[in-house]
Structure 1
Amino acid sequence: MTGRGGSALPAGMSSALVVGLGISGRAAAEKLLREGVRVTVNDISREGEVLDAAMALRGMGAACELGHHDLSLLEGVDLVVVSPGVPGSMKLLREARARGIAVWSEVELAWRFARGPVIAITGTNGKTTTTRMVEWICRCAGMEARAAGNIGHPFVRAAEEAGEGELLVVEVSSFQLAHTETFRPRVSVLLNVAEDHLDWHADMDEYVAAKSRIWANQRDDDLVVCNLDDPLCVKAARSARARVRYFSRSPEAGADVFLKEGRMLSRVEVAAGGEGEVEEIMRAADLPLPGGHNLENAMAAAAAAMGVGVEARKAGEALRSFEGLSHRLELVVEAGGVRFYDDSKATNPHAAMRALESFPGPLVLIMGGRNKGLDFGEMAEALRARARRGEVKAVYLIGEAAAEIASALEEGGFPAEMEMAHGLEEVFGRLGPVLGRGDTVLFTPACASFDQYANYKQRGKHFQELAKKYAAEVQNHG
């Protein structure tokens, strides 16, 4: 299959090593095999789903090397495709670069085979929701569009499935962007930048630099959509060569898409090249999803969709009917006047703080998991402030980071109840005496799930099961 301007792979590229056999790594290996490339797949694990994937790829003709990352794997290799989460500092990847071997992410590989325009979306939080919003808006406007990338459906697979000219709306992570060379989306979106993945990136400068690669190859006729309320986003966008269009919660900030008097508005130049005038996208209250951060996601999605020709009015109509995603401020159940929300996708303090802003209180919070090398100080201060106003009744802490979060909360004196528990079951066993009518139980971990669960989805599903069981017991005794 050819890609942009002819052959999608450089001439002479005949042998590839795929490092990491997650969903995107497997899809990349399958694509390379179909293109006639000799493929070796490699993963440090040799069990479970990794072993299953390796055996399936062996059946397609790949060589399999599991349980090590020996440098001998690079012999005779023209290309290394690295999966998200594999540290760029890994010795194998450093050696590959030193030998002049191309190191790509699955995003770079997929881009070379994509036959239609791409809208790429990155940021610390909100990527998946915004990606789905853009897809929904474009489909409602009558365009052929599909979402892909770091949302469970690999970009490389979607690029192969999509028709000529079909719009691909792609969620991309800093891991994936760090290993791109020619990737050039028609529209790139940077939602926000906060501390995250510092267990992977050396520091914040490296993290921001990786995010900024989303527009590294864009040209004057491309578009960048960026958060004007986020200083790190604004600073990063100065390096963009493409046109930059900003969104903001403030009408005074000078953004192109903004909120004013309860309405989401667009300056006409975003959609049609005019100046001065504004048009209404929608009433802010009509967005079905809770939280100011979701208004930001919606503004970004509308600006991106308008960047490929969707009318502001059509964008608003679509957003009014958009349904939220699982484990992202998802209302699970209501019983005895208490609402239970699953925000398991909040895997860093920044995401948890945004969740907190979505509810006036009284709140009972469940937090904790595995820290990703992040500081809980700012989140703790926000929690203390809410607790002093009586908006936080109790905080339950679980997982490896429980003591670390507790220490951060206690540093300035925490005026609400705080307890540590081994896990979610223990928390639900203690909730009864604490809860009252009008309360909200919010599970927003601020941490990764890997200390107790396979992923945030499994963690969220467990919370939902326990919440529904608790609600059933309340109703039975009601």
Structure 2
Amino acid sequence: MKIAIVGFDREGRASYDYFSARGHSIAVFDQNPNVVLPKDVSGVLGDSYLQTVKNYDLVVRTPSLHPSQLLAAHVQNDKIWSGTNEFLKVCPTKNIIGVTGTKGKGTTSSLITKMLEKAGKTVWLGGNIGIPALDMLKNDIKPDDWVVLELSNFQLIDLQSSPHIAVCLMVVPEHLDWHKDFIEYTDAKRNLFAHQDNKDIAIYFAENETSKAIASAGDGKKISYYSDVGAYIKDNAVVINGHRICTVDEIALLGKHNWQNVCAAVTAVWQVTQDVSAIAKAIKEFTGLQHRIEYVGEKNGIKFYNDSFATGLHATKAALSAIEGPKIAIIGGYDRMLDIDEFGVFLRDEAKDIKQILLIGDSQNRVATMLSGAGLHNYTQSDANNMKQIVAEAVKLADAGDAIVLSPGFASFGLFSNFEERGTLFKKEVAKL
């Protein structure tokens, strides 16, 4: 079969490895003219890279490429495929848990994995968390193993099958620079549930109507979390079906917003095992992922937190609520022009312990206008163009006993290539202080 791999990033390379190992004729297509292709592999690079892709039997897109771009290049819809679709088709086990939502996917997926491992299961974690699904097939996955997939809207938009257990966390507007509207964004997530039958399980967040609507897309058994149907908080403890798992004080993850993620994970794992001890142990030990309210350290009496993963202000709100004491917040980045007024109300009415806000990136003028409109003037606009300058300016605004929190609330593009680079550079500059 003649197969086109479109987009040669991490996912594209995983697709190349998988399909080439099975004897297919492969060509690589990428808009980046500087992509280095594997030896003896033909490819088309540069702005006109999609012109001939229609001539292939199968077109495997990388998640960041919207399917509409392939349709515009006259690729037949039934030829468009993805690594996630292929993985779900051929995976040796059908014990698959898929997790989506706007934020919390990686944390919840990782926590589910830890819980299942504590319960003695063999578990493979991958997907949007940084391990392409097809790369997971390089392992010896057995029929009795469990697979946990973190799945983004980019991976779900053309998904053609659903996992046995699907979990939808809170969903709010995001990635509207990629999707034509919020409806397309939520429709992508509905695909996680749309192909389920009545033997499957659909888990959703009881306090988010969008999550509930997404989970209703298929025939899976509906179970809500943060309600007494699934796991929820009662008397300062995580409880499910009358079983007390642990107290909220024993949750290692910072922030009340993570109580939701814990309850989602408990609800999912409860469908597999009711091992209360194993579930509780994972909750008490799992402190979180990099770039998610990550404690970096203390310098000269100032604590530093890296929350670079916060690319939306709803995530920034959660981080600023989770970290106690006086704070300097570093906010801003690439502006996707989402509504930001609600964040101003939060800062004015609830976030009394924020001493100063350091505004960075091309979003800062709009954020400054919003803050002024909310009656807030404790902000400084920065013309810093690198992390060294940003950290130095933040330190000047802080005193001993304060916390400096990098929780941008906007995408990294412009100043940094991605949230990982932004967070890593922040940690490096803090280490130099």
TM-score higher than 0.5: yes
Asked if structure 1 preserves the Cα contact closer than 8 Å seen for 2:228 and 2:240, the reply is no
Q: In structure 2, do the counterparts of structure 1 residues 243 and 15 end up closer, same or farther at CA, with 3 Å as the change threshold?
A: same
Partner of 2:418: 455
1:362 CA displacement: 1.5
Q: Pick from 120, 128, 132 the counterpart of residue 154 of structure 1.
A: 132
- 1:361 & 1:416 partners in 2: Cα distance? 16
1:430 CA displacement: 3.2
1:18 matched to 2:2: no
- 2:266 & 2:133 partners in 1: Cα distance? 22
Aligned pairs for 1:158-169 within 5 A: 158-165=136-143, 166-169=145-148
User: What is the RMSD computed on CA atoms of the aligned residues?
Assistant: 1.8
Partner of 2:293: 329
1:88 CA displacement: 2.9
Question: What residue ranges of structure 1 are gaps of 5+ in the alignment?
Answer: 1-13, 268-277, 471-478
Deviation string, structure 1 residues 295-344 (Cα, Å, up to 9, x no partner): 21111111111222242332112221113211110100113432110000
Q: In structure 2, do the counterparts of structure 1 residues 118 and 62 end up closer, same or farther at CA, with 3 Å as the change threshold?
A: farther
Deviates more, 1:225-234 or 1:303-312: 303-312
Partner of 2:184: 206
- Secondary structure of the corresponding residue to residue 405 of structure 2: strand
- 2:72 & 2:196 partners in 1: Cα distance? 27
- Secondary structure of the corresponding residue to residue 339 of structure 1: strand
Asked if structure 1 preserves the Cα contact closer than 8 Å seen for 2:196 and 2:218, the reply is yes
Q: Pick from 17, 20, 42 the counterpart of residue 63 of structure 1.
A: 42
Q: Pick from 10, 16, 19 the counterpart of residue 29 of structure 1.
A: 16
- 1:403 & 1:415 partners in 2: Cα distance? 13
Percent identity between matched residues is 28
Q: Pick from 199, 222, 226 the counterpart of residue 204 of structure 2.
A: 226
Deviates more, 1:66-75 or 1:192-201: 66-75
Partner of 1:349: 313
- Secondary structure of the corresponding residue to residue 89 of structure 1: helix
Question: What residue ranges of structure 2 are gaps of 5+ in the alignment?
Answer: none
1:469 CA displacement: 2.4
Asked if structure 2 preserves the Cα contact closer than 8 Å seen for 1:33 and 1:39, the reply is yes
Q: Pick from 383, 386, 392 the counterpart of residue 421 of structure 1.
A: 383
- 1:133 & 1:188 partners in 2: Cα distance? 15
1:396 matched to 2:383: no
Q: In structure 2, do the counterparts of structure 1 residues 242 and 420 end up closer, same or farther at CA, with 3 Å as the change threshold?
A: same
Partner of 2:259: 295
Partner of 2:90: 113
**Alignment-mate amino acid for residue 128 of structure 2:** N
**Alignment-mate amino acid for residue 156 of structure 1:** L
**Alignment-mate amino acid for residue 418 of structure 1:** T
- 1:460 & 1:315 partners in 2: Cα distance? 30
1:425 CA displacement: 2.7
Partner of 2:30: 43
**Alignment-mate amino acid for residue 7 of structure 2:** G
Asked if structure 2 preserves the Cα contact closer than 8 Å seen for 1:78 and 1:101, the reply is no
TM-score w.r.t. the length of structure 1 is: 0.86
- 1:419 & 1:348 partners in 2: Cα distance? 19
- 2:109 & 2:77 partners in 1: Cα distance? 34
Q: In structure 2, do the counterparts of structure 1 residues 94 and 312 end up closer, same or farther at CA, with 3 Å as the change threshold?
A: farther
Partner of 1:384: 348
1:260 matched to 2:234: yes
- 2:218 & 2:77 partners in 1: Cα distance? 27
TM-score w.r.t. the length of structure 2 is: 0.94
- 1:71 & 1:173 partners in 2: Cα distance? 24
Asked if structure 2 preserves the Cα contact closer than 8 Å seen for 1:43 and 1:69, the reply is no
- 1:260 & 1:71 partners in 2: Cα distance? 55
- 1:305 & 1:449 partners in 2: Cα distance? 34
- Secondary structure of the corresponding residue to residue 52 of structure 2: helix
**Alignment-mate amino acid for residue 256 of structure 1:** G
Q: In structure 2, do the counterparts of structure 1 residues 414 and 255 end up closer, same or farther at CA, with 3 Å as the change threshold?
A: farther
- Secondary structure of the corresponding residue to residue 68 of structure 2: coil
Deviates more, 1:373-382 or 1:224-233: 373-382
Query: After TM superposition, what 4+ stretches of structure 1 lie above 6 angstroms from structure 2?
Result: none
1:71 CA displacement: 5.0
